[in-house]
Amino acid sequence: MLMQILDEQNAYLILAMDELEALIRSEGSDPLYNLSRIQEDRLKAPQRLSLLCVLRETAYLDTLDFSTRSTLQRNLINLGEYSKLQLQDILNDRVALAFSYGTVSPPIVDLIAELAASEGGDARYAIELLWRAGKYADASASPRVLPEYVRKAAVSVYPVVRKDMISSLGLHEKLFLLGVARHFKQTGAAYISMGEAEDAYAVVCENYGEERRGHTQLWKYVKELSALGIIKTEPSGLGKRGKTTLISLPRVPAADLEQELSRILHVRKS
């Protein structure tokens, strides 16, 4: 009936089937066999039906019978993960559709894209972070989506920074991290430079009566905290004078981190 209608209307159909794994799991080879072989009885007729099949794991094709598999594997295109730049394009498109102008700044889009890129270039994850961050902004009656809301969104999706991880850090790692957390909480910024982080750390050391460590030792702390996934580092890009390291706090709200570190340091001091 389908081919008859296409013939009568002199039309051509590209049938795109996303999440093909679901069809294979539930129905096996039969539907794909019928669709891929439908032209065999129409040798002199125009080829009016083409298939576009999308699946995450090509291993599912191995479960099909040989004739169906050979037809589908003639034109196989492997698509890589979304890059950070591609995720930014996707997010900017969604921002334009769903948010009032100016409520989501470029650094926020950059922060969300960075998070999603680190999770295998998952666009769905990026879009969910954007949606949840917007919900947190609504709940706070904020006119803008702030980095803190993105961090809360990341924690609500994948809570990755555990309290025992924070407790196991050395004293000056805690002090450095507290300075970073306070800076983000006070400024609402998405990134902090290494120099700004050192200044924030110096203030915390003064507050707690501790002698500050030098730049080389602090850089070791930064690398250790980055390896644990508590902070993220990247070189400064265009628009920054000179070369420096930018630090972000993508996976935990700055206010929550400050509260936990202050509690731990207070217990130690007492």
Q: 91 and 109 in contact (C-beta within 8 Å)?
A: yes
Q: Which of 54, 48, 51 is nearest to 71 (CA)?
A: 51
Query: Does residue 137 contact residue 103 with C-beta atoms inside 8 Å?
Result: yes
Q: Where are the domains of the chain?
A: 2-72, 84-157, 163-269
Please report, to the nearest 10 degrees, the dihedral formed by the alpha carbons of residues 181, 185, 186, 191 taken in order. 70
Q: Which CATH class is domain 84-157?
A: mainly alpha
What is 163-269's CATH number?
1.10.10.10
| 54-73 average pLDDT score | 80
**Pairwise CA distance, residues 95 & 108, whole Å:** 11
d(CA 220, CA 229): 14
Q: With beta carbons less than 8 A apart as the criterion, state whether 103 and 143 touch.
A: yes
What pLDDT, in 10s, does the model give residues 146-155? Answer: 999 999 998 8
- Residues 246 and 232 sit within 8 Å (Cβ to Cβ): no
pTM: 0.58
pLDDT digits (tens, 9 = 90+) for 209-226: 999 999 999 999 998 888
Residue 38, Cβ density class (10 Å: 0-12 exposed, 13-18 middle, ≥19 buried): middle
Q: What fold is seen in the domain 2-72? A: Rossmann fold (3.40.50)
**What mean pLDDT, rounded, does the chain reach?**
88
112-161 pLDDT, tens digit each: 999 999 888 889 889 999 999 999 999 999 999 999 999 999 888 765 56
